[in-house]
């Protein structure tokens, strides 16, 4: 089997990012294809990587400098699974892009688009804390610029959202960096595995201070309450494919970075897990409750994303294998289903010209295919049987039950939040299919290139609901990787 | 080829789910294909279910969907079969009935698809033999019934949403309970679970069983959760209501039977605490059931809307079923199962008849109907017998089942439950009499002069179900035989059925010989008819308004609501008025509105102002740092 070095999954997109503007001078239509090929490369590379990493973690050393001094890439089942998720979501979004990009600006857009992918892939693969910071920055800067990139009348809104996101985002990087500096001061190393082994003997106060800083910094990226003020505006202001990227790629990478730091470096520090649990529950409730009264479709989906991220935080901070598998399943399901929902919502809004939920009356008759796809995504998020969300919900509940009485309380809270979610999604789905439209003219469905990614995602939502064993094959080793920590992975290197 | 190999529950389910899909696509192109296919699939499924009689199977139906590979089972046993045959036959007959009733209605194609899907998931609920399959089918059933309710259009929006929210609340409570059981015992298969139950801590059983029971009480529309029932039953499309009320409402009772007697088992249930030899858990269920029966009857009495009246009546009759179920003696469980069967028979006929009348008259208000008995003789007769059965008048099988439940309650000396049940029974006579009077007797409104019986597709199911009601009244041994084997499956002493002469139900308290009672009653009726025939010649026909207008001209008072069905039970209503004003719906509504207001407030957290967000971030960090230095 061909082995592709994980470094290339960062290197090639970065290189292409610089190549795209130069080629665009001579060949105007090239950016789209060059970006497509880059993403395809990453997709293939991450698939191969996932297959390899299921046997043993793939470690790649940069420039011959051995760790802990050099930078390493470490791809366990979890990291490679996320890399695959990132590249495939990027690929599908690439299909979805064309009508949503302002004409004449393709070059910059595609450049930033693959930089975003490169940054996110780096975030999940790197084995070095400072490197993680660098990739987080790449991802953030690419997201800021993509967010500002909006067409038509939403432009003003997008710029406003960008400024908010940038202000909060710079706080995020500042705190994250301070945290890294404190850790470096306390242990003298930045390699994650090395850190994990040195932290127990380091100055406790310093380490805890660093942990507080890092949780704050990465919590912003992971949409943790109360750090997620940027989220609703960003999702709403962004052009639709960028909202998809936020929900399925950027936030997932940020969340994974947070989990990695807490689980792998700090060895699942109980104090941190308690904080994550409490704020996870808060995030869940605040997100779902805020979504309940929304009249703006994208904003509703944004708040629902916040709620789901809260669910993920809760599932991970339960810290047992069942809950972790459930959490990872929910993460996959959310990336896929919410991506689908944002795409379908984007098609609705593109056709209707408004984000108002009440405009969706009778869309089942006006845009049947898109409506069906939206419904599939919504059913999965609601956790109905035969959709991915159902499996993640029952596995998380089973996991929380293993945590004794508190676990039971957690289960009840999760299910109550899930009930709120059911209510607002059901209202929208009900509107789409059951209400009579004011104007029942047939609207033009999205072209096949845009329909294709949605159909693929819908198929995956189904597959996750009816044949979850296929996913558990990857998720169970991934969960075990998290529980085991870094010690056994890199042999203390 | 040996066809018996295909008579297995998993094939019934496959047939129905595939059938739903095929019907959807075929029905898009031809309505004839839609009708014949849905009849074919449901009929075939009914046949297969009928052939399952007396079988005991258990098999894995699907590859596992859990991370640790727990298998999922379906199977059949006497208890399952008893419910399955009710559900399957009602589904088949309702589909037949719907063909003329739902013709040309909104989303007609979806109606048949969803009804087949609902039939499949209801049978799935009863056939499933492990917790996970049970929950999956349960959710599917809720979803498909919700969708069926919404088919009625905008009018049913609120009712459907409330039904879905309450059902999901119940389902989540159930999910919490069943995951508790799974995590504690490490298995989901029912027989393996029940083998491990002895010796389980009592608190654990109370909690898990209580959580699970909430789901079933919601579905049976028992006391604190009944608010969804009347609107959902009445706003649902006319073609779906018979199935909804006749079949679906029994599944809550089935679930309780399953979890209380099959999984936990009688001895463990008694071990959880008992009251006069009845388990405390069961007593609580019985109490809820009796109060539900009583309250719902009061609501039914004051309804003018025919479907709402029947809906409240359903709630109250399911209360009886819960009552018998909770008491848990041989007699009461038999009565409960028998009443489940009877209610399925008569309530389906009543809703079918109501649907036919509504289609004819275009109104649901009883005060706008009247005198239809001569115009719609078949509808009248079938509904008359069903109403007798509902009011537990002897000569119908409804008498037998209520009699068993009363007797069980009196036997145990339950001074609270038994009287409530009696009062509720009188009430059910009152409202069913009103239904009869208002719809079929009295003056025929001018608009309904040329009313006639609905088509055969409507009357055949009604006649079929009514003849079963009459037949079972004479030979109660037939259904009780099946009930006795279901009882022994549940580990309850089976009721004594004289198997040679299917006419006698005997027990310590006394015996009921259906044949003797029927003969006496028939004779008494004959005497009454002869007397009436002689007296009838002296009677004088007057306009009904003359009785209270004393000959004044009707037109002057036509706006006063002078129809004899208006304010029919005014004195009773007046008596209970202050209590009826305390409606539980308001509490739920207030809670819902309160939460929406709260969430409106929570939403304000996202002020849209970036300075605020920065304060949040700094505040969060400050809090973490304080915690880090002080607490960790």
A418 touches chain B (CB under 8 A): yes
Q: How confident is the model at residue A465 (pLDDT cuts 50, 70, 90)?
A: confident
Q: How far apart are CA A7 and CA A49, in angstroms?
A: 11
Q: How far apart are CA A367 and CA A443, in angstroms?
A: 6
pLDDT of residue A375: 92
**C-alpha B590: how far from its chain's center?**
27
Of B69, B612, B617, Cβ closest to residue A227: B617
Q: Which helix (H) or strand (E) holds B401?
A: helix B397-411
Nearest to B179 by CA among A349, A398, A32: A398
Interface contact A171-B143, CB threshold 8 A: no
Q: Which of A174-178, A186-190, A340-344, B451-455 is predicted least confidently?
A: B451-455
Q: At what angle do helices A404-434 and A368-382 cross, to 10 degrees?
A: 160
Is the pLDDT reported for residue B503 higher than 60? no
Q: Where are the domains of chain A?
A: 269-493
DSSP, res B262: I
- Compare B251 and B604 and report the one with higher pLDDT: B251
For the beta carbon of residue B305, count every other beta carbon within 10 angstroms: 17
Is the pLDDT reported for residue A439 higher than 60? yes
Q: What is the pLDDT of residues A92-105, one digit of tens each?
A: 998 888 777 766 67
- Compare B352 and A58 and report the one with higher pLDDT: B352
Residues in chain B closer than 8 A to A208 (CB atoms) = 628-629, 632
pLDDT of residue A489: 46
Preferred mutation among B183, B201, B215, B228 to probe A, highest tally of A CBs within 10 A: B183
Q: Which of B110-119, B207-216, B297-306, B443-452 is predicted least confidently?
A: B443-452
Q: Which residue of B has its CA nearest to A170?
A: B614
In terms of phi and psi (left: phi > 0; alpha: psi -120 to 50; beta: otherwise), the region of B551 is left
Q: How far apart are CA B538 and CA B534, in angstroms?
A: 8
Q: Which helix (H) or strand (E) holds B57?
A: strand B57-62
Give the pTM.
0.89
pLDDT of residue A493: 37
Q: How far apart are CA B113 and CA B49, in angstroms?
A: 20
Give backbone dihedrals phi and psi of A467, rounded to 5 degrees, phi first. Answer: -135, 65
Residues in chain A closer than 8 A to B617 (CB atoms) = 168, 171, 216, 220, 226-227, 229
Token couple for B308: 């709402």
Preferred mutation among B610, B629, B631 to probe A, highest tally of A CBs within 10 A: B610
Average pLDDT, chain A: 85
Residues in chain B closer than 8 A to A436 (CB atoms) = 153-154
Interface contact B66-A419, CB threshold 8 A: no
Residues in chain A closer than 8 A to B65 (CB atoms) = 391, 466-469
Of B65, B605, B621, Cβ closest to residue A391: B65
Q: How far is B111 from chain A (nearest CA, A)?
A: 13
Q: How far apart are CA B2 and CA B487, in angstroms?
A: 32
Of B139, B154, B165, Cβ closest to residue A384: B139
Residues in chain B closer than 8 A to A164 (CB atoms) = 610, 613
Residues in chain B closer than 8 A to A227 (CB atoms) = 616-617, 620
Of B66, B69, B596, Cβ closest to residue A293: B596
Of A227, A411, A472, Cβ closest to residue B179: A411
- Compare A179 and B515 and report the one with higher pLDDT: A179
How wide is the angle at C-alpha B519 spanned by C-alphas B515 and B520, nearest 5°?
A: 120
Interface contact A275-B69, CB threshold 8 A: no
Interface contact B179-A422, CB threshold 8 A: no
Q: How far is A321 from chain B (nearest CA, A)?
A: 10
**C-alpha A65: how far from its chain's center?**
31
A-to-B residue pairs, Cβ atoms closer than 8 angstroms: 161
pLDDT of residue A311: 92
Q: What is the pLDDT of residues B406-439, one digit of tens each?
A: 878 887 777 788 888 888 888 888 888 888 888 8
Q: How far apart are CA B107 and CA B151, in angstroms?
A: 7
**C-alpha B347: how far from its chain's center?**
9
pLDDT of residue B553: 62
Is the pLDDT reported for residue B54 higher than 90? no
Of B139, B606, B627, Cβ closest to residue A290: B606
Interface contact B598-A289, CB threshold 8 A: yes
Q: How far apart are CA B608 and CA A161, in angstroms?
A: 9
Q: How far is A268 from chain B (nearest CA, A)?
A: 14
pLDDT of residue A492: 38
Residues in chain B closer than 8 A to A401 (CB atoms) = 176, 179-180, 182-183
Q: How far apart are CA A433 and CA B148, in angstroms?
A: 13
Is the pLDDT reported for residue B549 higher than 80? no
Q: How far apart are CA A42 and CA A10, in angstroms?
A: 9
Q: In A188-203, which residue ranges form alpha helices assigned H by DSSP?
A: 192-198
A230 touches chain B (CB under 8 A): yes
Would you give the end-to-end CA distance of chain B in angstroms? 73
Q: Where are the domains of chain B?
A: 283-513, 583-630
A483 touches chain B (CB under 8 A): no
Q: Distances from the Cα of A470 to the Cαs of A84, A482, B70, in angstroms?
A: 15, 20, 15
Averaged pLDDT for residues A422-443? 84
Which of A45-59, A270-284, A301-315 has the highest mean predicted lDDT (pLDDT)?
A301-315
Averaged pLDDT for residues B491-512? 61
Q: Which of A316-330, B60-74, B189-203 is predicted least confidently?
A: B60-74
Interface contact A208-B179, CB threshold 8 A: no
Of B599, B603, B616, Cβ closest to residue A226: B616
In terms of phi and psi (left: phi > 0; alpha: psi -120 to 50; beta: otherwise), the region of B236 is beta
Nearest to B78 by CA among B497, B479, B501: B479
Q: Which residue of A has its CA nearest to B70?
A: A469
Give backbone dihedrals phi and psi of B117, rounded to 5 degrees, phi first. Answer: -65, -40
Interface contact B69-A469, CB threshold 8 A: yes
Preferred mutation among A304, A372, A426 to probe B, highest tally of B CBs within 10 A: A426
Interface contact B161-A212, CB threshold 8 A: no
Of B136, B599, B621, Cβ closest to residue A293: B599
Q: How far apart are CA A435 and CA A363, in angstroms?
A: 9
B452 and B375 Cβ atoms separated by less than 8 Å: yes
Q: How far is B489 from chain A (nearest CA, A)?
A: 30
Predicted-assembly ipTM surpassing the 0.85 threshold: yes
Is the pLDDT reported for residue A338 higher than 60? yes
Interface contact A475-B67, CB threshold 8 A: yes
Interface contact B161-A211, CB threshold 8 A: no
Q: What is the DSSP string of A321-382?
A: HHHHHHHHHHHHHHHHHHHHHHHHHHHHHHHHS--BGGGGTTHHHHSHHHHHHHHHHHHHHH
Q: How far apart are CA A481 and CA B119, in angstroms?
A: 44
Is the pLDDT reported for residue A404 higher than 50? yes
Is the pLDDT reported for residue B546 higher than 80? no
Q: How far is B62 from chain A (nearest CA, A)?
A: 9
Q: How far is A226 from chain B (nearest CA, A)?
A: 6
Can you name the residues that pair with B62 across neighbouring β-strands? B72
Interface contact B610-A163, CB threshold 8 A: yes
Is the pLDDT reported for residue B142 higher than 60? yes
Q: In B441-543, which residue ranges form alpha helices assigned H by DSSP?
A: 456-474, 477-489, 514-536
> Chain A window 279-308: which residues touch B at a Cβ cutoff of 8 Å?
285-286, 289-290, 292-294
Place of tokens 């997620």: A228
B305 and B365 Cβ atoms separated by less than 8 Å: yes
Interface contact B621-A212, CB threshold 8 A: yes
Q: Residue B1 contacts by C-beta under 8 Å, 6 or more apart in sequence?
A: none
SS3 A336: helix
pLDDT of residue B471: 84
pLDDT of residue A265: 74
Preferred mutation among A397, A425, A427, A470 to probe B, highest tally of B CBs within 10 A: A397
Q: How confident is the model at residue B539 (pLDDT cuts 50, 70, 90)?
A: low
Q: How confident is the model at residue B501 (pLDDT cuts 50, 70, 90)?
A: very low
Q: How confident is the model at residue B547 (pLDDT cuts 50, 70, 90)?
A: low
Cβ neighbourhood burial of B597 (10 Å; 0-12, 13-18, 19+): exposed
**C-alpha A484: how far from its chain's center?**
23
Q: In B102-130, which residue ranges form alpha helices assigned H by DSSP?
A: 108-127
Nearest to B323 by CA among B415, B251, B381, B405: B405
Place of tokens 């088949």: B92
Q: Which of A140-154, A170-184, A400-414, B150-164 is predicted least confidently?
A: A140-154
Q: At what angle do helices B610-630 and A270-292 cross, to 10 degrees?
A: 150
Residues in chain B closer than 8 A to A167 (CB atoms) = 610, 613-614
Q: Which residue of A has its CA nearest to B178?
A: A398
Can you name the residues that pair with B497 across neighbouring β-strands? B505
A197 touches chain B (CB under 8 A): no
B242 and B351 Cβ atoms separated by less than 8 Å: yes
Which of A485-489, B87-91, B360-364 has the highest mean predicted lDDT (pLDDT)?
B87-91
Interface contact A423-B619, CB threshold 8 A: no
Is the pLDDT reported for residue B153 higher than 80? no
């Amino acid at each position: 089997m061909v082995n592709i070095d994980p470094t290339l999954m960062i290197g090639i997109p970065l290189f292409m990012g610089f190549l795209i503007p130069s080629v665009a001078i001579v060949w105007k239509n090239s950016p789209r294809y060059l970006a497509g090929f880059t993403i395809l490369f990453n997709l293939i590379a991450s698939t191969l990587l996932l297959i390899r990493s299921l046997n043993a973690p793939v470690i790649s050393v940069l420039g011959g400098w051995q760790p802990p001094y050099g930078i390493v890439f470490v791809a366990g089942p979890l990291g490679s699974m996320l890399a695959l998720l990132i590249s495939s979501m990027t690929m599908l979004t690439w299909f979805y892009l064309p009508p949503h990009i302002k004409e004449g600006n393709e070059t910059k857009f595609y450049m930033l688009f693959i930089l975003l992918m490169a940054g996110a892939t780096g975030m999940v693969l790197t084995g070095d804390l400072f490197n993680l910071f660098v990739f987080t920055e790449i991802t953030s800067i690419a997201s800021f610029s993509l967010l500002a990139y909006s067409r038509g009348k939403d432009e003003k809104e997008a710029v406003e959202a960008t400024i908010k996101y940038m202000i909060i985002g710079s706080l995020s990087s500042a705190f994250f960096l301070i945290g890294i500096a404190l850790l470096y001061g306390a242990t003298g190393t930045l390699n994650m595995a090395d850190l994990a082994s040195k932290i127990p003997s380091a100055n406790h106060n310093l380490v805890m201070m660093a942990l507080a800083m890092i949780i704050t910094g990465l919590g912003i990226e992971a949409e943790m309450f109360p750090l997620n003020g940027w989220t609703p505006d960003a999702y709403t202001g962004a052009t639709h494919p960028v909202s998809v990227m936020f929900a399925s790629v950027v936030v997932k990478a940020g969340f994974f970075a947070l989990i990695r730091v807490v689980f792998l470096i700090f060895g699942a520090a109980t104090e941190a897990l308690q904080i994550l649990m409490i704020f996870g529950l808060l995030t869940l409730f605040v997100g779902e409750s805020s979504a309940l009264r929304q009249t703006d479709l994208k904003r509703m989906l944004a708040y629902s994303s916040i709620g789901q991220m809260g669910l993920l935080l809760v599932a991970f901070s339960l810290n047992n294998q069942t809950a972790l598998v459930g959490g990872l399943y929910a993460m996959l399901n959310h990336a896929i289903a919410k991506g689908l929902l944002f795409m379908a919502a984007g098609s609705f809004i593109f056709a209707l010209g408004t984000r108002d939920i009440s405009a969706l009356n009778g869309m089942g008759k006006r845009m049947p295919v898109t409506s069906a796809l939206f419904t599939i995504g919504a059913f999965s998020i609601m956790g109905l049987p035969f959709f991915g969300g159902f499996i993640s919900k029952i596995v998380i509940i089973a996991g929380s039950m293993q945590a004794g009485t508190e676990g039971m309380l957690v289960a009840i809270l999760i299910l109550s939040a899930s009930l709120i979610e059911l209510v607002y999604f059901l209202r929208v789905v009900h509107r789409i299919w059951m209400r009579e439209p004011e104007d029942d003219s047939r609207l033009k469905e999205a072209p096949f290139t845009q329909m294709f990614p949605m159909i693929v995602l819908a198929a995956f939502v189904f597959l996750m609901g009816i044949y979850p064993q296929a996913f558990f094959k990857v998720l169970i080793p991934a969960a075990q990787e998290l529980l085991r920590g870094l010690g056994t992975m890199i042999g203390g290197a | 080829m040996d066809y018996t190999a295909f008579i297995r529950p998993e094939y019934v389910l496959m047939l129905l789910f595939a059938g739903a899909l095929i019907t959807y696509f075929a029905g898009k192109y031809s309505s004839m294909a839609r009708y014949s296919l849905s009849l074919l699939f449901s009929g075939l499924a009914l046949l297969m279910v009928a052939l399952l009689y007396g079988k005991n199977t258990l098999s894995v139906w699907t590859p596992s969907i859990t991370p640790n590979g727990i298998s999922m089972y379906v199977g059949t046993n006497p208890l399952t079969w008893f419910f399955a045959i009710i559900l399957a036959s009602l589904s088949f007959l309702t589909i037949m009935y719907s063909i003329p009733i739902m013709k040309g209605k909104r989303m007609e194609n979806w109606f048949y698809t969803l009804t087949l899907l609902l039939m499949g998931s209801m049978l799935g609920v009863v056939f499933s033999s492990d917790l996970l399959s049970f929950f999956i089918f349960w959710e599917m059933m809720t979803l498909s019934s919700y969708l069926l309710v919404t088919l009625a259009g905008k009018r049913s929006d609120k009712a459907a949403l409330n039904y879905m929210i309450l059902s999901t609340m119940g389902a989540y409570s159930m999910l919490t309970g069943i995951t508790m059981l799974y995590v504690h015992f490490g298995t989901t298969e029912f027989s393996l679970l029940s083998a491990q139950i002895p010796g389980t801590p009592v608190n654990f059983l109370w909690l898990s069983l209580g959580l699970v029971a909430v789901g079933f009480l919601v579905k049976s529309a028992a006391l604190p959760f009944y608010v969804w029932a009347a609107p959902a039953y009445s706003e649902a499309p006319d073609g779906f209501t018979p199935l909804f009320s006749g079949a679906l409402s029994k599944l809550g009772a089935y679930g309780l039977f399953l979890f209380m007697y099959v999984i936990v088992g009688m001895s463990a249930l008694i071990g959880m605490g008992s009251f006069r030899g009845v388990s405390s858990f069961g007593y609580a269920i019985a109490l809820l059931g009796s109060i539900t029966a009583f309250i719902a009857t009061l609501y039914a009495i004051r309804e003018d809307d025919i479907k709402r009246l029947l809906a409240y009546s359903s709630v109250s009759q399911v209360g009886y079923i819960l009552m018998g179920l909770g008491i848990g003696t041989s007699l009461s469980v038999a009565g409960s199962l028998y009443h489940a069967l009877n209610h399925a028979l008569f309530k389906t006929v009543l809703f079918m008849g109501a649907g036919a009348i509504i289609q004819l008259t275009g109104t649901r208000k009883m005060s706008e109907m009247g005198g239809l008995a001569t115009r719609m003789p078949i509808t009248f007769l079938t509904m008359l017998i069903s109403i007798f059965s509902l009011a537990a008048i002897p000569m119908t099988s409804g008498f037998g089942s209520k009699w068993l439940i009363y007797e069980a309650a009196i036997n145990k000396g339950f001074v609270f439950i038994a009287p409530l049940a009696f009062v509720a029974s009188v009430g059910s006579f009152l409202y069913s009499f009103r239904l009869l009077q208002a719809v079929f007797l009295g003056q025929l409104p001018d608009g309904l002069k040329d009313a006639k019986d609905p088509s055969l597709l409507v009357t055949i199911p009604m006649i079929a179900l009514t003849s079963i009601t009459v037949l079972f009244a004479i030979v109660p041994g037939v259904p009780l035989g099946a009930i006795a084997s279901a009882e022994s499956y549940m580990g309850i002493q089976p009721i004594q059925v004289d198997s040679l002469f299917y006419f006698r139900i005997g027990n310590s308290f006394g015996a009921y010989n259906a044949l003797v009672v029927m003969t006496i009653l028939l004779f008494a009726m004959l005497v009454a008819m002869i007397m009436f025939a002689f007296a009838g010649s002296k009677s004088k026909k007057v306009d009904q308004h003359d009785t209270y207008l004393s000959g004044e001209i009707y037109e002057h008072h036509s706006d006063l609501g002078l129809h004899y069905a208006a304010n029919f039970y005014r004195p009773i209503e007046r008596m209970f008025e202050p209590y009826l004003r305390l409606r539980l719906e308001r509490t739920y509504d207030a809670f819902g509105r309160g939460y929406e207001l709260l969430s409106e407030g929570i939403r304000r957290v996202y002020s849209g102002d970036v300075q605020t967000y920065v304060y949040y971030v700094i505040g969060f960090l400050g809090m973490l740092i304080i915690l880090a230095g002080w607490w960790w």
